[in-house]
């Protein structure tokens, strides 16, 4: 991880010891372990998402959100950064929209880091 900009030595150690010490079969398991997946509401007639579940490790979740902000800063040409810019530029200066989008970037970053560990695929 330390070869990737925006991760750093301490972040790499913390994410490895807190999250990637266990084995995941797919990307959904990674997202749910961290708690960055939608929390569904199903009343029988209505189905909506209530936001993220926050069921996972909160230290890892906060670390990933911090890493996501650093990723945007140090990897401005990456796919994640471009996606974030497209999502937030279409809106007016909306702090809530940026916070929602950064959570999505953190989830995508966690999945990208898992792919990097499991399959050796460098995040784009």
The model's pLDDT over 72-99, given as tens digits with 9 standing for 90+, comes to 888 888 888 888 888 888 666 677 778 8
> Scanning the structure block, which residue is given the tokens 């007016």?
92
pTM confidence score: 0.76
Rounded Cα–Cα distance for residues 38 and 49 (Å): 6
> Scanning the structure block, which residue is given the tokens 């959100």?
65
Structure tokens belonging to residue 109 = 């970053």
Q: Tens digits of per-residue pLDDT, 35-47? A: 777 676 777 787 7
Rounded Cα–Cα distance for residues 7 and 29 (Å): 22
Rounded Cα–Cα distance for residues 95 and 113 (Å): 26
Beta pairing partners, 38: 52
Distances (CA, A) of 121 to 13, 97, 107, 112, 114: 19, 30, 17, 8, 9
Q: Tens digits of per-residue pLDDT, 101-110? A: 888 888 888 8
Distances (CA, A) of 33 to 19, 79, 94, 117: 8, 24, 29, 16
Query: Buried b / exposed e across 46-61, counting CB within 10 Å, b at 16+?
Result: eeeeeebbeebeeebb
Indicate if the pLDDT at residue 22 is higher than 60.
Answer: yes
Give the single-character DSSP code of 124.
Answer: -
């Amino acid at each position: 991880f330390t070869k990737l900009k925006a991760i750093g030595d301490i972040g790499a150690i913390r994410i490895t010891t807190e999250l990637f010490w266990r084995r995941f079969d797919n990307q959904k398991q990674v997202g749910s372990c961290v708690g960055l997946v939608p929390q569904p509401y199903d009343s029988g007639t209505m189905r909506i998402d209530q936001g993220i579940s926050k069921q996972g490790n909160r230290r890892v979740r906060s670390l990933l959100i911090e890493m996501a902000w650093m990723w945007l800063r140090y990897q401005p040409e990456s796919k994640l950064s471009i996606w974030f810019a497209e999502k937030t530029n279409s809106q007016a200066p909306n702090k809530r929209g940026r916070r929602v989008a950064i959570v999505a970037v953190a989830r995508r970053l966690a999945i990208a880091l898992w792919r990097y560990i499991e399959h050796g695929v460098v995040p784009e």
